[in-house]
Amino acid sequence: MKVSIKVNGVQYEKDVEPRTLLAYFLREDCGLTGTHVGCDTSSCGCCVVVMDGDRAVKACTMFAAQADGHEILTVEGLAQGGALHPLQQAFWDQHGLQCGYCTPGMLMTSYALLKHKPNPSDGEIREELAGNLCRCTGYNNIVKAVRQAAETLQAAPATK
Amino acid sequence: MIPAAFDYRRAGSADDAFAQLQKLGGDARVLAGGQSLIPAMRFRLARPSVLVDINGVAELDYITMNGALTLGAIARDSAVERASWIGERGWSLIHDVSRVVADPVVRQMGTVVGSLCHNDPSGDWPAVALAARAEMVVRGKDGQRTVPIDQFLVDSFTTAVQEGEMALAVRFPAPDDRTAGSYQKVERKVGDYATAAAAVQVSLNADGTVRGAGIALSSAGPCAVRVTDAEALLKGQTPTADLIRAAGEAAAKQSDPQADLRGSVEYKKNLAGVLVSRGLRQALARLGVQS
């Protein structure tokens, strides 16, 4: 079947099988391998992308067909003009990653979180990231990074 | 794993979805949030030959509050979690469960009606719907009908929705101002199946006696179960520590779990009782009653 999905501002028109999962559509049909597949069973959160601006979804548990006509933002769409997004900069500054495998999912879940709650408490950040697993950091620096990004984005709300 | 091949149909309206289900019969499944169905398809536990996707049907994406709380078939868990009324005492059972279904990202897609139709014995919503005495709106050949939740939840992964039929909504009766609830769930980690869970809703008379109680368990057998003995114990009584303990014991007795990595049968039965007692204490505390 034909699908037309806008990913990071670029329209992709592709012919896919109905059973094609969004994560594989992004990685294999669009060549956007920033979206990682970890557990492949909706448990780890590595594959999280943002749909229609503010909804974090697990791309391994959604068919590409369901995204037809919608907009998807992946980790590749965060940086603008060579400048890291405040979330990415904060993960760098706060050492919010080590191996980096979970990071795209962490970033995209945090991105949607900050759309809904621009000034979350540490507890709220931990709750919202509860579906994203990290085996390296122990999470503390990830929470600090999301705090930093929240402060940066609030100081400069024009940044997306 | 990748799911087995299937045909995909996007429904344009509720009528269209229903017409397709009528035509396709038992080979078709409704695709709502997909957060249980898609993993089941990936593990090849489910192999529907056709999916009828209702995600684009705007008329099924609603939450209304007039006399009752009604959630359309595409109302997401996250929309319930963020609803303006979610902090009101009468809806405290719904408040509690809305924060612990699966994980926060799954709740962005997952739907309440979908969870009820999936009827996983370890799901959260079936027990909550029992405790709150919800009813389901189902569309069949002869039109719409309302099905009390006790009749809707038939058995593991089985509901009163027949081939070619479709659940349109779930309706929770509006609680009065002397009603509160609590959802108690113990899980090893966020997103895991519950080790045990209890849904409790209590309504008091003006004199402080119990007018009615809804008590149900998840992860306590092949299907979510109403603890009728505990409900009967409480009715008409003034809640005391002894009564709450007895209600918990009734729940432990009725719980019929399976042993797995989360715990032994003995442990899970005991935990079910503890969670019912804890839920009753919290619901009563929300009503200003210390017990």
pLDDT of A78 > 70? The answer is: yes
Query: What's the mean pLDDT in B163-181?
Result: 97
Q: Are residues A68 and A119 in the same domain?
A: no
Q: Is A6 exposed, middle or buried (0-12, 13-18, 19+ CB in 10 A)?
A: middle
Determine contact: B6 vs chain A, CB below 8 A: yes
Find the residue in A nearest to B40 (Cα). Answer: A41
Residue B1 lies in a domain: no
| One-letter amino acid for residue A44 of the chain | C
Q: Going by C-beta distance under 8 Å and a sequence separation of 6 or more, which residues neighbour residue B8?
A: A1, A18, A63, A65, B50, B51, B53
Task: Work out how many domains chain A is built from and give that number.
Answer: 2
Q: Are residues A40 and A103 in the same domain?
A: no
Q: Are residues A66 and A101 in the same domain?
A: no
ipTM of the complex: 0.95
Tell me, what's the pLDDT at B161?
97
Domain stops at, among B108, B139, B173: B173
Q: What is the CATH number of the domain that holds A62?
A: 3.10.20.30
Partners of A21 on chain B (C-beta within 8 Å) are: 2, 38
pLDDT of A89 > 90? The answer is: yes
Q: What is the rounded distance in angstroms from the CA atom of residue B89 to the CA atom of residue B226?
A: 22
How many CB pairs below 8 A link A and B?
Answer: 82
Provide the shortest C-alpha distance from residue B202 to chain A (in Å). 28
The two structure tokens encoding residue B37: 């169905």
Q: Do residues B73 and B53 lie in contact, with contact meaning Cβ atoms separated by under 8 Å?
A: no
For residue B267, what are the CA distances in angstroms to B11, B123, B181, B253? 46, 19, 24, 12
The two structure tokens encoding residue B142: 């002869």
Q: Are residues B184 and B251 in the same domain?
A: yes
Q: What is the CATH number of the domain that holds B140?
A: 3.30.465.10
Supply the DSSP symbol for B62.
-
Given an 8 Å threshold on Cβ–Cβ distance, is A63 in contact with B38?
Answer: yes
Q: Can you point out the beta strands (E) in B111-218? A: 135-140, 143-148, 153-155, 158-159, 166-173, 179-187, 194-204, 210-218
Q: What is the CATH number of the domain that holds A111?
A: 1.10.150.120
Domain that holds residue B82: 59-173
Query: What's the mean pLDDT in B14-32?
Result: 95
Partners of A65 on chain B (C-beta within 8 Å) are: 8, 10, 53
Q: What is the rounded distance in angstroms from the CA atom of residue B226 to the CA atom of residue B128?
A: 10
Residue B164 lies in a domain: yes
Residue B291 lies in a domain: no
Domain stops at, among A56, A77, A98: A77
Query: What's the mean pLDDT in A85-108?
Result: 98
Q: Are residues B67 and B169 in the same domain?
A: yes
Given an 8 Å threshold on Cβ–Cβ distance, is B3 in contact with A19?
Answer: yes
Partners of A41 on chain B (C-beta within 8 Å) are: 39, 42-43
The two structure tokens encoding residue B215: 């008590």
Q: Give the rounded distance of the alpha carbon of B15 from its chain centre.
A: 25
B132-161 pLDDT, tens digit per residue, is 999 999 999 999 999 999 999 999 999 999
Q: Do residues B216 and B250 lie in contact, with contact meaning Cβ atoms separated by under 8 Å?
A: no
Sign for the pseudo-dihedral over CA of B97, B98, B99, B101: positive
pLDDT of A159 > 60? The answer is: no
Tell me, what's the pLDDT at A158?
62
Q: Which helix (H) or strand (E) holds B23?
A: helix B14-24
Paired sense of beta strands B28-31 and B7-10, if any: unpaired
User: Which one of A4, A61, A107 would you mutate to disrupt binding with B, by most B Cβ within 10 Å of its Cβ?
Assistant: A61
Query: What's the mean pLDDT in B121-130?
Result: 98
Choose the closest CB to A18 out of B7, B55, B78.
Answer: B7
Residue B2 lies in a domain: no
pLDDT of B25 > 90? The answer is: no
Q: What is the rounded distance in angstroms from the CA atom of residue B261 to the CA atom of residue B272?
A: 17
Q: Which of residues 23-62 of B touch A (CB under 8 A)?
A: 31, 34-35, 38-39, 41-43, 51, 53, 55
B66-77 pLDDT, tens digit per residue, is 889 999 999 999
Neighbouring-strand partners of residue A53: none
Domain stops at, among A77, A101, A131: A77
Q: Which of B93, B32, B108, B82 is nearest to B218 (CA)?
A: B93
Residue B35 lies in a domain: yes
Query: What's the mean pLDDT in A6-14?
Result: 98
pLDDT of B163 > 60? The answer is: yes
Choose the closest CB to B106 out of A1, A42, A63.
Answer: A42
CB atoms within 10 A of CB B151: 11
Given an 8 Å threshold on Cβ–Cβ distance, is B31 in contact with A62?
Answer: no
Query: What's the mean pLDDT in B31-36?
Result: 97
Q: What is the CATH number of the domain that holds B34?
A: 3.30.43.10
DSSP state string for A2-62: EEEEEETTEEEEEE--TT-BHHHIIIIIS--TTS--SSSSSSS-TTEEEETTTEEEEGGGS
Q: Are residues A146 and A96 in the same domain?
A: yes
Determine contact: B105 vs chain A, CB below 8 A: yes
Q: Are residues A72 and A92 in the same domain?
A: no
User: Which one of B2, B31, B105 would you mutate to disrupt binding with A, by most A Cβ within 10 Å of its Cβ?
Assistant: B105
B68-103 pLDDT, tens digit per residue, is 999 999 999 999 999 999 999 999 999 999 999 999
Domain stops at, among A77, A108, A126: A77
Tell me, what's the pLDDT at A80?
94
Q: Which of residues 120-149 of B touch A (CB under 8 A)?
A: none
Q: Are residues B168 and B68 in the same domain?
A: yes
Q: Are residues B113 and B130 in the same domain?
A: yes
pLDDT of A157 > 80? The answer is: no
Given an 8 Å threshold on Cβ–Cβ distance, is B108 in contact with A61?
Answer: no
Paired sense of beta strands A10-15 and A2-7, if any: antiparallel
Q: Are residues A113 and A63 in the same domain?
A: no
HSE of B150, CA atoms in CB hemisphere, 13 A = 9
pLDDT of A160 > 60? The answer is: no
Determine contact: B106 vs chain A, CB below 8 A: yes
pLDDT-based confidence at A41, cuts 50/70/90? confident
Provide the shortest C-alpha distance from residue B28 to chain A (in Å). 14
Determine contact: B3 vs chain A, CB below 8 A: yes
Provide the shortest C-alpha distance from residue A45 to chain B (in Å). 8
Task: Work out how many domains chain B is built from and give that number.
Answer: 3
Given an 8 Å threshold on Cβ–Cβ distance, is A66 in contact with B53?
Answer: yes
Domain that holds residue A148: 86-154
Supply the DSSP symbol for B225.
E
For residue B94, what are the CA distances in angstroms to B27, B86, B120, B127, B262? 33, 7, 18, 11, 25
Q: Are residues B148 and B237 in the same domain?
A: no
